[in-house]
Amino acid sequence: MFDDRSPIYLQIAEQIKNDIVTGALAEDEQVMSTNQYAAFYRINPATAAKGFAQLVDEGVLYKKRGIGMFVSPNARDLLRSGRRDSFFAEVVDPMIREARAIGVPLTEIVQHIQKEGDQQ
């Protein structure tokens, strides 16, 4: 489940974010407690709590005192917007720069994307 590329608490946060973006976790749905999460994945509860705290700080989760953690009502839109911005900055913009450098017209790129999308 976890790898050595980044701290476990960041991987926990990323997994929960992915579950929200894909719809596996819905808005206002309760998530596992940090202790349940720690027991299920056999990790330190403090590590799980750190991942959850990050998500609360980002506005992805909110806490109901005495009940637990829940997915924020706007979490999916918030995450999708952030990922959309990252997608353009990390994927599309470098692709456009490379296309210009090697002389590929943008219209050709658009046609290629549309063709590949039609085959999906």
Amino acid 118: pLDDT: 82
pLDDT value, residue 50 = 96
0.75 surpassed by pTM:
yes
Q: What is the pLDDT of residue 3?
A: 74
Question: How would you write the chain as a 3-class SS string?
Answer: CCCCCCCHHHHHHHHHHHHHHHCCCCCCCECCCHHHHHHHHCCCHHHHHHHHHHHHHCCCEEEECCCEEEECCCHHHHHHHHHHHHHHHHHHHHHHHHHHHHCCCHHHHHHHHHHHHHHC
Residue ranges of the chain whose pLDDT lies below 70: 1, 120
